[in-house]
Chain A
Amino acid sequence: MSLLIKGASLLGETTADVLVADGKVQEVGSVTAKADRTVDADGLVLLPGLVDLHTHLREPGREDAETVLTGSRAAAVGGYTAVLAMANTSPVTDTGEAAERVYDLGRQAGLVDVQPVGAVTKALAGEELAELGLMARSRARVRVFSDDGRCVADARVMRRALEYVKAFGGVVSQHSQDPSLAGPTACCHEGELSGRLGLPGWPGVAEEVIVARDVMLARHTGSRVHVAHVSTAGSVEVIRWAKAQGIDVTAEVTPHHLLLTTDLLSGYDPTFKVNPPLRPAEDVEALRAALADGTIDAVATDHAPHARHDKEHAFVDAAFGMLGLETALSVVSTVMVERGLLDWAGVARTMSERPARIAGLDHGDRPHGRPIAVGEPANLTLVDPQAKVVVDRADSVSLSRNNPWHDRKLTGRVLATILRGEPTVLEGALAR
């Protein structure tokens, strides 16, 4: 099937027609050829397909909250053509076989490329290395390793993991949080509000000391470390310093940490319970600035679906996490583009090109995050930058409804997603 996208603004810069056929971009410019299908893209922005470094698809283990198929749907609706699926499933993705299983489920769903993340340690226990090399050489070709949900707290284990993954160009994505700096029931940002509410919290420094330790370990080992979901101004300062030293560190921020603040917890609504926690406005400001200036490389959703009953507990007992795949682009558009902090080329950089490169998905037989140019794979996302959206959690294609954006007005909306030339989303809805 051939597809002609007429008059789109490529990365918000130049207007051109894009002809797609056989999975690739065939022509860019003024296209006169006829296509099987034509999309009028006047006033719309065309981006390379989005790549998410951080999702939880819950399969295997919690198929009542999300499956690889339903998570893939949510990803496609959100404009994604590739997602990395975190390892904290049940069983944990800590072997080559487990990684291949998730990978195969992704291929069967066929809506986005699902790239499994491997655990750093067996069963995420933080003690012994998982079979990193076997995951790397499996059919799933795992390159990103993370115990996400837990921090690799032991410095010795982190050092060995960083050293070991050098053999196959891997990267360790760290959930930076020193567990000894908070009690086992920590559930929010430690600060004035947690003091008033009587909720046990994590101070920002629990994240910052691990970020600081890890960049020094990355320097020592000559390896590559990725800081997952950066949430504090202090972490940003450390990362900025480390990059200036030439240390191989990259970082991501979530849409929710770019907009939502800790004061949303004042009514004890577990919808806003997330790990790392929502922080004060000063941190949010610092994260936006860091994303704009490149200190933070990527936006990653940390899409974390939960069954309704797992959120209907007392706040400290409720599950951590919030949905993110379907709304990420709209949030970034509202927070960063509308305020002039990022242009659309910056969105392409932080939501597609850089995350693809960090995950090693920018090359190989199914590359992502590539320029919109002749001969490149046609992974594309078409955005209406002016669309006003009021989020309704009932509209989600995810199986879960823990949506912190419910009732919020956002600007910018994904209208079409194209995976290797095949539309997965058209007119804002699933095309298949």
Chain B
Amino acid sequence: MTRHLLSIDDLDVTQIEEIFTTAAQMHDVQRREVKKLPALRGRTVINLFFEDSTRTRSSFEIAGKWLSADVINLSAKGSSASKGESLRDTVLTVTAMGIDGLVVRHSASGAAEQISRWIDVPVINAGDGTHEHPTQALLDSYTLTRRLGSLDGKHVVMVGDLTHSRVFRSNVKCLAKLGAQVTVVAPPTLMPAGVSDWSKEAGFATSYDLDRVLPEADAVMMLRVQRERMSGGFFPTAREYTVRYGLTRDRLGLLQPGVPILHPGPMNRGLEISADAADAVDSVVLDQVSAGVAVRMSVLYHLLAGEPALNEGGQA
């Protein structure tokens, strides 16, 4: 297994499948009355969050605790630059406390990768700016796999603010590795720079027309759109965005029956996703949350447990 998980690029298909296999075992543990496994007993994991997050931080915290790790949450809000301390000094200080793994969330793209060059404990990227969020992509694909079986040849449609989305960047890589066909949909102003060359090379399709792609989707993944983007001139009004790119009640009718609807949260109900879609029988939004814990348990286990077998001292 990889030493750090900074990007989906760090994993090959075999490793992704290995993570899923372990995640499925962990998923079963979630349903037990006593959820603790001893796998990371005596290990200390720090969740170092330079950016606010409730769900990702709690998900990593629960995952670590169910593996018996000592999990400490450190919030280091605001850029270290503004506090006068360099990022390197902040990270070296935290690491010097004697830890076994660092889960990092930062508002700056590349922060996790930079950090991994400064310290010698495994670093897990819990979201770096608008770059990647690899555990989110893993849990999304894991959720889809449980729903659809193999993703080979399946058509996944991703819709939303692609420019500012780390979820999109990780997912497009993860889905491609698993053989899925991906179409990303956004207004031209929210397509990343150079996407036409990138998509050609990486093998995904782009579209400005949601209505045209929805009927061919095997799964649809809605991405969060921040209302502040309007002030940046990315689109005129929330109303117009919803009409053109929202998963409205009307658009649900364009989907084939049984097509799962995903959203990484937090949802802007009424903007990119209607209540009808969020609460539809085919919405797997809450499955994603529970899969998140299982996948993060699996990742922590593979990166931090070292040699001892999963079954040591307990059954999984």
Interface locus among A59-67, A158-166, A308-316, A349-357: A308-316
B109 touches A199 (CB 8 A): yes
Measured between beta carbons, the chain A residues less than 8 angstroms from B108 are 314-317
A195 touches B110 (CB 8 A): no
Checking A192, A193, A198 against B130 with a beta-carbon cut-off of 8 angstroms, the contacting residue is A198
Measured between beta carbons, the chain B residues less than 8 angstroms from A267 are 113
Q: How far, in whole Å, are A134 and B130 apart by their CA atoms in the complex?
A: 47
Measured between beta carbons, the chain B residues less than 8 angstroms from A268 are 109-111, 113-114
* Known A267-B113, A317-B80; 15 more pairs at CB < 8 Å: A192-B197, A195-B163, A195-B195, A196-B198, A198-B128, A199-B129, A268-B113, A309-B88, A312-B88, A313-B80, A313-B88, A314-B80, A314-B108, A314-B129, A317-B81
Q: How large is the interface on B (under 10, 10 to 19, 20 to 34, 35 or more residues)?
A: 20 to 34
Distance (whole angstroms) from the CB of B189 to the closest CB of chain A: 13
Q: Does B169 belong to the interface (CB within 8 Å)?
A: yes
Q: How far, in whole Å, are A20 and B1 apart by their CA atoms in the complex?
A: 68
B81 touches A315 (CB 8 A): no
Q: A191-B193, A198-B169 are in contact. Are A309 and B110 (CB under 8 A)?
A: no
Q: How far, in whole Å, are A96 and B58 apart by their CA atoms in the complex?
A: 59
Distance (whole angstroms) from the CB of A319 to the closest CB of chain B: 9
Q: Does A194 belong to the interface (CB within 8 Å)?
A: yes
Q: A312-B86, A313-B80 are in contact. Are A197 and B109 (CB under 8 A)?
A: yes
Q: Does A404 belong to the interface (CB within 8 Å)?
A: no
Q: Does B4 belong to the interface (CB within 8 Å)?
A: no
Q: Does A203 belong to the interface (CB within 8 Å)?
A: yes
Taking CB atoms and an 8 Å cut-off, the chain B residues in 154-181 that contact chain A are: 163, 166, 169
A314 touches B114 (CB 8 A): yes
Q: Which residue of A lies closest to B88 (CB)?
A: A312
Q: A196-B169, A198-B132, A198-B166 are in contact. Are A316 and B192 (CB under 8 A)?
A: no
| Per-residue B-contact encoding for A193-231, CB less than 8 Å = 1, 0 else | 111111111010000000000000000000000000000
A201 touches B129 (CB 8 A): no
Q: Does B308 belong to the interface (CB within 8 Å)?
A: no
Taking CB atoms and an 8 Å cut-off, the chain A residues in 176-192 that contact chain B are: 183, 190-192
Q: A313-B81, A314-B79, A314-B108 are in contact. Are A196 and B192 (CB under 8 A)?
A: yes
Q: Does B232 belong to the interface (CB within 8 Å)?
A: yes
Can you list 18 A-B pairs with a CB-CB distance of less than 8 A? A190-B193, A192-B195, A192-B197, A195-B198, A198-B129, A198-B169, A199-B110, A199-B129, A268-B110, A269-B114, A309-B88, A312-B89, A313-B81, A313-B88, A314-B80, A314-B108, A314-B110, A314-B114
Q: How many residues of A contact B (CB 8 A)?
A: 25
Q: A198-B130, A198-B169, A201-B193 are in contact. Are A314 and B113 (CB under 8 A)?
A: no
Q: Which residue of A lies closest to B202 (CB)?
A: A196
A309 touches B89 (CB 8 A): yes
Measured between beta carbons, the chain B residues less than 8 angstroms from A203 are 193
B197 touches A313 (CB 8 A): no
Checking A198, A199, A310, A315 against B114 with a beta-carbon cut-off of 8 angstroms, the contacting residue is A315
Q: Does B87 belong to the interface (CB within 8 Å)?
A: yes
A314 touches B106 (CB 8 A): yes
Q: A198-B132, A312-B88, A313-B80 are in contact. Are A192 and B194 (CB under 8 A)?
A: yes
B110 touches A317 (CB 8 A): no
Q: Does B27 belong to the interface (CB within 8 Å)?
A: no
Distance (whole angstroms) from the CB of B161 to the closest CB of chain A: 12
